[in-house]
A and B are shown apart, each in its own frame.
Chain A
Amino acid sequence: MEEYYLICEDSLEGVFTGIYDAYLKKKPHGQVHLCVGQEDNYRLFAVYEECRPDEGKAVKVARTIGRELGHEAYMSICRALASPQPDKGEAVYKTVVAGLSMKNRKRVMGNLKNPYIHRVFELARFTANEAHYHVEFLRFRELENGILYAPMGPKNNVITFVVPHFADRLPLENFVIHDTLRGIYALHPAGKDWYLVSGAQGEPGGRDGLENHDSLPGAISGKDHREPVPGAPPMPFSEGEEKYSELFTHFFHTIAVKERGNYGLQRNMLPLRYRKYMTEFQEK
């Protein structure tokens, strides 16, 4: 019995293409597996195949998932794929297989007895929680030119789940959210749609959007390749920034009731790893 391993790219497109190719094999699904990124422990007696991401295939798979398994399942799968865990491809693939074999396909995410579905549920939950943490704890700082800049360092690739919230909330602001670990920037020009720029290849000049991208700091337009430090701004802050961050820090300290002091609870609700990006926890 031959086992097939499809090695796909670590992206939504890559995994969806992998699922498409896995179905193309017409082998029992138990014999086909997906690995994401680099496989570092090759097995004997297994066939490894590279699988090049293909937009057409990925769109077909995405459409099928959305139509057959429902929007909820589709969102869960997208969230699960934002995780850095290597087994996510396999879990998503087997979830799709299990979902399509169910009588009521829309209920696939409720079937937590299935280990793959449970794994997708777990990964999706972590991503969703982390995205929500960033909606809560992201802090913008105003740069000299009036652009709001927010660095973050999430474990999962949550930026696409976070930006829509802020785009709806701050439609008339120029803002940038910067994933310092992955070098991804989300840019939102005032009154327009937001878009992603990857730090390494980013050249926002080619795209429509920010008219004032000349005024964008070097690190944002991708010309500057210095290693980003958490919280270190690409250009000096505006005058108001210091005033309001001090006001808020002051507010943060006075609003706590001393008699009820409970640092354990604070740590539970606001994990330490988020604090290095947060205004009120910056050491002066």
Chain B
Amino acid sequence: MERTDLIPGDARKAGPAAVMQAEGMSLMEKLGILSDAAKYDVSCSSSGVERRGDGTGIGNTSRAGICHSFGADGRCISLLKILFTNECIYDCKYCINRRSNDVPRASFTPDEICELTIQFYRRNYIEGLFLSSGILGSPDYTMELICEAVYKLRTLHRFQGYIHVKAIPGASPELVRRLGLLADRMSVNLELPTAAGLKALAPNKHRKNILTPMRQIQQGITQNKEELTLYRHAPSFVPAGQSTQMIIGATPESDYQIMTVAENLYQKFALKRVYYSAFVSVNEDKDLPALPGGPPLLREHRLYQADWLLRFYGFEAGELLSEDRPNFNVLLDPKADWALRHLDQFPVEINRADYRSILRVPGIGVKSAQRIVRARRSGNLTFDDLKKIGVTLKRALYFITCNGRMMYPTKLEEDYLVRNLTGEKERLPFDRDGMTYRQLSLFDDQQEFAFLQAAGS
């Protein structure tokens, strides 16, 4: 079964010494190093494709995706997220695996990857494999190694679970095509939202090299859809679509720029997901921002909220932000923020308004809106019914009427609404937004404390 033509003989011989050295390492050490190196990749979804097992191997996939655990950071662990190798010829400033970093290096062999995936999978630890890699030798050589591992997993072990692989920018189109026929989802990381940012922090990467495989995958998917309508058993190409990732907060782009880029990616590249990754400072470099307050998690959160608004709520980036308001409101989520700027469209009558305007009410999500539309067919809804349906009235009550009445007498005034929407429970936890509250003191001990800390005592 094993196909050896995946790796040309000369490339094998030329395998860097690091691979040899890594062979002395235990599987445990390798897994530690290579999962530690992969953890900054945020994508972990196992969704987008529904496939039942054919009874001859192991595995199936579910359209909604399945998470199998949640780490100490609260992020889901769905796939065995590892790098093939953390060797890299590139020197991207934000990356822990950059060439100039002195970190332990390791590489898996294709067989080790297959073993881990199958053994974890049958114990229901994971939903599949997420395989990324540093660039070993050349993009093509790395892609061939990845290809070999995935090919073995699919054919030798008859693994039918989820496989997400990274396309390495700069790899040949032929390899991308071959990998696309084996994987469920592929992704090429955009890394930074603008070409200028990429040039500053990732001098070896070029935007063209990133967008070319992305375009190729998109065209492959469209073409494959046509093939599948003609021949039902045609091999499917990246059936779960492609995604990408941007680092937030390493370069000075505004939220508006980021959202516009994301919107373009969704519209022009038909991406399934764009991931935003709050910049975690792992390297010391003069070109990187200092982040004393930790990674910009709130900003990342707002971007995700807006991303959902783009994909599921029929919003456009231009509605949420503009050149004059380039960043999201720290205190309010993007939807509430939008609603406050468009009070003329409220209140919305729950029993009459169309689905799209109900969807735009803060506090009402896709599920609630669907339930409302279904439930009102069999009678007028009251606020009590809404509560039972599961609408969070805490925010929605200021923007809706049931049978022409509001829940409580409220005012549709911006100041009043801001005050209420950012009430006790809505308020952000301390420190998260850079604001702290403490009692006024005669002695400014805080500064002294900071001084002492800086002095190292």
Residue A215 is within 8 A (CB to CB) of chain B in the complex: no
Find out whether the CB atom of B378 lies under 8 angstroms from the CB atom of A118. Answer: no
Residues on B with C-beta less than 8 A from A253 are 72
Q: How many residues of B contact A (CB 8 A)?
A: 54
- Which residues of A (142-167) have their CB < 8 Å from a CB of B? 142, 148, 150, 166
Q: How many residues of A contact B (CB 8 A)?
A: 55
Complex: A44 Cα to B193 Cα, angstroms = 73
Nearest A residue to B300, CB-CB: A260
Complex: A269 Cα to B229 Cα, angstroms = 39
Q: Per a CB cutoff under 8 Å, which of B55, B71, B74, B116 touches A247?
A: B116
* A62 shortest CB reach to chain B, Å: 24
Find out whether the CB atom of A148 lies under 8 angstroms from the CB atom of B123. Answer: yes
* B23 shortest CB reach to chain A, Å: 18
Complex: A61 Cα to B295 Cα, angstroms = 58
Nearest B residue to A173, CB-CB: B122
Complex: A170 Cα to B121 Cα, angstroms = 9
- Which residues of A (99-137) have their CB < 8 Å from a CB of B? 102, 107, 110-114, 118, 135-137
Complex: A137 Cα to B40 Cα, angstroms = 24
Find out whether the CB atom of B385 lies under 8 angstroms from the CB atom of A113. Answer: yes
Q: Per a CB cutoff under 8 Å, which of A141, A169, A258 touches B58?
A: A169
Contact status of A107 and B374, CB under 8 A, knowing A240-B119, A255-B77: yes
Residue A197 is within 8 A (CB to CB) of chain B in the complex: no
Find out whether the CB atom of B73 lies under 8 angstroms from the CB atom of A257. Answer: yes
Residues on A with C-beta less than 8 A from B59 are 169
Residues on A with C-beta less than 8 A from B393 are none
Residue B125 is within 8 A (CB to CB) of chain A in the complex: yes
* B378 shortest CB reach to chain A, Å: 4
Complex: A256 Cα to B75 Cα, angstroms = 8
Q: Per a CB cutoff under 8 Å, which of B39, B52, B388 touches A254?
A: B39
Find out whether the CB atom of B71 lies under 8 angstroms from the CB atom of A255. Answer: yes
- Beyond A264-B74, A280-B125, 18 additional contacts (C-beta under 8 Å) are A112-B388, A136-B66, A136-B68, A137-B69, A139-B125, A140-B122, A171-B56, A172-B57, A191-B55, A248-B123, A252-B71, A255-B71, A257-B280, A258-B72, A260-B74, A269-B76, A279-B123, A279-B125
Find out whether the CB atom of A247 lies under 8 angstroms from the CB atom of B77. Answer: no
Complex: A13 Cα to B38 Cα, angstroms = 51
* B337 shortest CB reach to chain A, Å: 23
Residue B212 is within 8 A (CB to CB) of chain A in the complex: no
Residue B35 is within 8 A (CB to CB) of chain A in the complex: yes
Contact status of A255 and B81, CB under 8 A, knowing A171-B55, A278-B69: yes
Residue B397 is within 8 A (CB to CB) of chain A in the complex: no
Q: Which of B26-34, B220-228, B231-239 contacts A (4 or more CB under 8 A)?
A: B26-34
Residue A23 is within 8 A (CB to CB) of chain B in the complex: no
Find out whether the CB atom of A112 lies under 8 angstroms from the CB atom of B39. Answer: no
Residue A250 is within 8 A (CB to CB) of chain B in the complex: yes
Contact status of A110 and B375, CB under 8 A, knowing A148-B122, A260-B280: yes
> Can you offer 15 A-B residue contacts whose CB atoms are under 8 A?
A107-B374, A110-B374, A112-B388, A113-B378, A140-B124, A173-B58, A247-B27, A251-B31, A254-B31, A257-B40, A260-B75, A261-B72, A262-B74, A269-B67, A269-B70
Residue A200 is within 8 A (CB to CB) of chain B in the complex: no
Q: Per a CB cutoff under 8 Å, which of A137, A171, A246 touches B68?
A: A137
Residue B425 is within 8 A (CB to CB) of chain A in the complex: no
Complex: A136 Cα to B76 Cα, angstroms = 11
Residues on A with C-beta less than 8 A from B378 are 102, 107, 110-111, 113-114
Contact status of A244 and B120, CB under 8 A, knowing A110-B378, A252-B69, A255-B81: yes
Q: Per a CB cutoff under 8 Å, which of A118, A169, A280 touches B388?
A: A118
Find out whether the CB atom of A270 lies under 8 angstroms from the CB atom of B39. Answer: no
Q: Per a CB cutoff under 8 Å, which of B35, B57, B371 touches A251?
A: B35
5 closest A-B pairs by beta carbon, nearest first, are A265-B74, A110-B374, A256-B71, A262-B74, A260-B73
Nearest A residue to B51, CB-CB: A168
Find out whether the CB atom of B53 lies under 8 angstroms from the CB atom of A113. Answer: no
- Which residues of B (157-172) have their CB < 8 Å from a CB of A? 161
Binding site for B on A (CB under 8 A): 102, 107, 110-114, 118, 135-142, 148, 150, 166, 168-173, 191, 240, 244-248, 250-266, 268-270, 278-280
Question: Of B36, B60, B116, B123, which is in contact with the most chain A CB atoms at under 10 Å from its CB?
Answer: B123
Complex: A136 Cα to B278 Cα, angstroms = 27
Complex: A255 Cα to B377 Cα, angstroms = 47
Binding site for A on B (CB under 8 A): 27-28, 31-32, 35-36, 38-40, 52-53, 55-60, 66-77, 80-81, 116, 119-120, 122-125, 161, 278, 280, 294-295, 297, 371, 374-375, 377-379, 381, 385, 388-389
Q: Per a CB cutoff under 8 Å, which of B57, B72, B81, B120 touches A266?
A: B72
Find out whether the CB atom of A113 lies under 8 angstroms from the CB atom of B375. Answer: yes
Residues on B with C-beta less than 8 A from A256 are 39, 71-73, 75
Complex: A94 Cα to B119 Cα, angstroms = 48
Question: Of B80, B124, B389, which is in contact with the most chain A CB atoms at under 10 Å from its CB?
Answer: B124
Residues on B with C-beta less than 8 A from A111 are 375, 378-379
Find out whether the CB atom of A169 lies under 8 angstroms from the CB atom of B60. Answer: yes
Residues on A with C-beta less than 8 A from B374 are 107, 110, 112
Residues on B with C-beta less than 8 A from A245 are 123
Complex: A251 Cα to B28 Cα, angstroms = 9
Residues on A with C-beta less than 8 A from B73 are 256-258, 260-262, 265-266
Complex: A79 Cα to B388 Cα, angstroms = 19
Find out whether the CB atom of B122 lies under 8 angstroms from the CB atom of A259. Answer: no
* A103 shortest CB reach to chain B, Å: 9
Complex: A257 Cα to B378 Cα, angstroms = 49
Nearest B residue to A132, CB-CB: B66
* B53 shortest CB reach to chain A, Å: 5
Complex: A170 Cα to B385 Cα, angstroms = 43
Residues on A with C-beta less than 8 A from B71 are 252, 255-257, 266
* B315 shortest CB reach to chain A, Å: 25
Residues on A with C-beta less than 8 A from B74 are 260, 262-266, 268-269
